[in-house]
């Protein structure tokens, strides 16, 4: 299989941040945290799901452990900037230039405010999407925080 250009661009952006990763591609995609974990032979909690929400008329990227659900009410209260709603597929594409199920933590047309789930810190390696639903890469928690410029917080249970 040929690695998609979008995933190669993500790989280059990560390299520009000093993070050297191998892009892994799965025939048929890995559309859920469980499917990605099974394909990689890791725990579901090691999957860094990239979820786009909308808050204060702007996108908010939440990188959450595959073992967690984002508690939007709790997160909105902690951030203190109004309600948080799930972005529509169109908003996700507009904000990231990527599709739901393949949103990478980086590679967006403009910087997106990012929250990183503190639960991901308990793993040596975590996996994130590489811009397409069938590509992923592995990195450390510290690398994820560095490349996203994210704020580390509790995001749910």
Q: What is the pLDDT of residues 101-142, one digit of tens each?
A: 899 999 999 999 999 999 999 999 999 999 999 999 999 999
Q: Rounded CA gap, 147 and 107, in Å?
A: 10
3-state secondary structure of 46: helix
Q: Residue 157 pLDDT more than 80?
A: no
Q: Rounded CA gap, 20 and 16, in Å?
A: 9
State in words which class domain 5-153 has: alpha beta
Determine phi and psi for 80, rounding to 5 degrees: 65, 30
Q: Rounded CA gap, 143 and 92, in Å?
A: 23
Nearest to 6 by CA among 145, 133, 100, 138: 133
Q: What is the DSSP letter of 133?
A: T
């Amino acid at each position: 299989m040929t690695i998609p250009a979008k995933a190669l661009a993500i790989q280059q952006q990560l390299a520009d941040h000093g993070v050297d990763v191998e892009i892994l591609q799965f025939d048929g995609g890995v559309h859920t945290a469980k499917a990605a974990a099974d394909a990689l032979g890791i725990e579901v909690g090691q999957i860094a799901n990239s979820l786009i929400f909308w808050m204060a008329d702007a996108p908010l990227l939440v990188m959450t452990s595959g073992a967690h659900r984002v508690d939007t009410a709790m997160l909105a209260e902690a951030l203190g900037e109004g309600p948080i709603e799930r972005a529509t597929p169109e908003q996700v594409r507009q904000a990231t230039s990527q599709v739901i199920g393949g949103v990478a933590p980086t590679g967006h047309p403009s910087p997106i405010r990012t929250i990183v789930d503190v639960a991901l810190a308990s793993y040596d390696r975590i996996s994130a999407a590489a811009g397409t639903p069938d590509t992923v890469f592995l990195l450390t928690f510290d690398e994820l925080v560095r490349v996203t410029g994210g704020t580390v917080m509790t995001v749910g249970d």
